Amino acid sequence: MATTRPRVLQYGKMPLTQLDAELAQAYEVSILSEQPDPERFLAEHGGQFEYAVTSAAMGLPAGVVDALPNLKFVSSFGVGFDALDKDALLRRGARVGYTPGVLDDCVADLAFALLLDATRGLSESDRFVRRGDWSQSRFGIRTRASGKRLGIFGMGRIGSTVARRASGFDMEVAYHNRRPVEGSPHQYLPSLLELARWADILVITAAGGEGTRHLVNAEVLAALGPQGFLVNVARGSVVDEAALADALESKRIAGAGLDVFEDEPRPLPALLALDNVVLAPHIASGTHETRRAMADLVLHNLQQFIATGRPAAEVPWSAAQ
């Protein structure tokens, strides 16, 4: 029986299993990563696809975009779009949908989980109890989180959600951004260095990509200082990870909580040996509720594009075409 369902190239398995099934039900899906020879598959069938689906983590490299001459739209699962090749997509004239807004709460929640864990030593205390050390010695006292100065680098949707959480912890909030956010009740500091100097805890919620690469470097970490903590729920690329490992090891900062790394899934080995850093495997949006909402938006963006030529949520450089 001939199919009338639109063909969709899915770059790989999605971060929510139901979404794989839902896509396969609505569309004629080919999963590129499941093909025995993906390159050959693209060479033979690339011209048949007008639509592609991917995730923020998988991205979409120029090599794939270039092999899809009729590509019109990419629906991406995630709010970050630094792993999608902007130049190749703009050259192709393809539009890109993404999932902003629906993951702010869970990402902000995880930022606070990491912040509290890093300052209070929660993961370390868990290891302490499991090792049986409690019967021999006391767990050392730690740093109070509430009432501290919280610096937010990147005052977008997620940054402002983190700032709202901070009021419940009686924290003073200041931020740095490319430009001041109109109407923000918080103090704007014109440089990241000044923010790091001011803050007790620096939370990174800035977008990844070339514009923010390694902005959190040895100098910024030195400004944060030996009592300071770093939390990163944005992109590993924003932090010079080797400089961070060095600062943690030599106690030039007090601690860190990281959900993202420069080369996922491979955190720098030096970090694995340190007790003053909490490591999470990029799970900030990983709740049933949020992943469901993200999946719904991936499907909605695709339907909307097919019906109207515009997705419900479009990445800024795509919308500017």
Q: What is d(CA 171, CA 146) in angstroms, rounded to the nearest whole number?
A: 6
Smallest distance, ligand 8YV to C-beta of residue 176, A = 21
55 near ligand 8YV, rule: CB under 6 A: yes
Q: Looking only at residues 1 through 40 of this chain, which bind ligand 8YV when binding is defined by CB under 6 A? A: 15
Instruction: Choose, by CB under 6 A, the member of 285, 301, 304, 318 that binds ligand 8YV.
Output: 285
Nearer to ligand 8YV, 51 or 77 (CB): 77
Smallest distance, ligand 8YV to C-beta of residue 263, A = 15
Cβ neighbours for 202, distance < 8 A, ≥ 6 positions apart? 151, 153, 195, 196, 216, 220, 224, 228, 229, 230, 231
59 near ligand 8YV, rule: CB under 6 A: no
Cβ neighbours for 273, distance < 8 A, ≥ 6 positions apart? none
Nearer to ligand 8YV, 57 or 218 (CB): 57
Instruction: Choose, by CB under 6 A, the member of 13, 41, 50, 57 that binds ligand 8YV.
Output: 57
Closest CA relative to residue 216, chosen from 165, 173, 229: 229
Q: Which residues are catalytic?
A: 235, 264, 282
Which is it for strands 229-232 and 149-153: parallel, antiparallel or unpaired?
Answer: unpaired
Q: Looking only at residues 124 through 163 of this chain, which bind ligand 8YV when binding is defined by CB under 6 A? A: none
Q: How many CA atoms lie within 13 A of 164 on its CB side?
A: 12
Q: What is d(CA 171, CA 119) in angstroms, rounded to the nearest whole number?
A: 14
Choices 55-63, 64-72, 157-165, 194-202; region in contact with ligand 8YV by CB under 6 A: 55-63
Break the chain down into helix, strand, coil percent, rounded to 5: 40, 15, 40
Give bridge partners of residue 53 from the DSSP assignment. 10, 75
Nearer to ligand 8YV, 200 or 262 (CB): 262
Q: Looking only at residues 211 through 270 of this chain, which bind ligand 8YV when binding is defined by CB under 6 A? A: none
Which chain residues interact with ligand 8YV by CB under 6 A? 15, 55-57, 77-80, 103, 285
